[in-house]
Amino acid sequence: MMVAADRKALGWQAWYAMRHDRLLIVSATLLVLIVVAVIVGPWLTPHSYQTMDLSAVLISPQWADYRWFGTDDLGRDLFARVMHGGRVSLLVGIVSTFVSLVVGVLYGATAGYFGGRVDHLMMRFVDILYALPFMFFVILLMVLFGRNILLIFVAIGAVNWLDMARIVRGQTLALRRREYVEAAEMAGASKRRIIFRHIVPNLLGVVVVYATLTVPQVILIESFLSFIGLGVQEPMTSWGALVQRGTELMSIAPWVLVIPSLMLAVSLLCLNFVGDGLRDALDPKDGHR
């Protein structure tokens, strides 16, 4: 009884806090706009993202001929490229976060539920992995095994599950002492069933908040790789790859740098604000922002 009432109060409080966090609302709205634009965008323009047109090189942004964002040094339409690159960046962000989420939740929940020696061994392993300079391993992986997009997902997901595993383990340690878990144990449910049916669903709140904060990190890693030339390859593109191209052209065509930079920056900023806002809303203690 008590627990249910508390949770209701907390949920209401969270909703109240969220509705009154203007920053969160503005960021979430912007984010939805960007996602919709990126999905719909490529159909709005008559230009393709990969067709080169040497008669239309480095056009500055203008209304005429639907060149809203101008063109790059190969005459490719920048609006189409930014929208297409956004699809790739956001997709990498979501898929890799999902990979790290699945691995991290399973690992953390298992360690936390079994506890004792299993937990100790599993978390020692995480500690050792934490000490490795993963950014350099990801770079090495991309260089050595070709630059395909599947490898990007896996490499980034493999880097990011560690934090998730730690957080989930901590939560699980608290959850496994709860009455309903003990009840399930008494009723003879298998360990597997308890983890999947009773523990994991109750972790979702924390996991969702943390995942919102993982997406911008992942997009950052992908764009970092693309920026140093190890991410997605031509003719495919992403915001990081577009920014890289922009740095080479910035003295003659600043818009090729500024537009993708702004898109990337605004998206990352909004994602972080939303993640922070959600965390503050679910955490009744003082905010970090």
The binding site for other proteins (CB under 8 A) comprises: 128, 131-133, 135-137, 139-141, 143-145, 216, 220, 223-224, 227-229, 240, 243-244, 246-247, 250-251, 254, 257-258, 261, 264-265, 268-269, 271-273, 276, 286, 288-289
- Give min distance, CB of 65 to other proteins, in A: 26
- Give min distance, CB of 193 to other proteins, in A: 35
Residue whose CB is less far from other proteins, 94 or 189: 94
Provide the β-strand partners of residue 77.
71
Residue whose CB is less far from other proteins, 111 or 225: 225
Structure-token pair, residue 216: 């911008």
Query: What is d(CA 4, CA 273) in angstroms, rounded to the nearest whole number?
Result: 30
Residue whose CB is less far from other proteins, 18 or 139: 139
Judge whether 147 and 232 are in contact, CB under 8 Å. yes
Residue 93 CB coordination number (10 Å)? 24
Q: How far apart are the first and last CA of the chain?
A: 34
- Give min distance, CB of 287 to other proteins, in A: 9
Residue 211 burial (10 A CB sphere; 0-12, 13-18, 19+): buried
Residue whose CB is less far from other proteins, 85 or 240: 240
- Give min distance, CB of 170 to other proteins, in A: 17
Residue whose CB is less far from other proteins, 130 or 196: 130
- Give min distance, CB of 134 to other proteins, in A: 9
- Give min distance, CB of 268 to other proteins, in A: 4
Q: Helix (H, G, I), strand (E, B), or coil: what is residue 71?
A: strand
Judge whether 219 and 92 are in contact, CB under 8 Å. yes
Residue whose CB is less far from other proteins, 51 or 247: 247
Find the DSSP H helices in the chain. 2-19, 22-44, 78-114, 116-130, 134-144, 149-175, 179-186, 191-193, 200-227, 239-249, 254-282
Residue whose CB is less far from other proteins, 200 or 222: 222
Ramachandran angles phi, psi of 63, nearest 5° = -80, -35
Query: What is d(CA 227, CA 230) in angstroms, rounded to the nearest whole number?
Result: 7
- Give min distance, CB of 137 to other proteins, in A: 7
Query: What is d(CA 8, CA 78) in angstroms, rounded to the nearest whole number?
Result: 49
Judge whether 74 and 52 are in contact, CB under 8 Å. yes
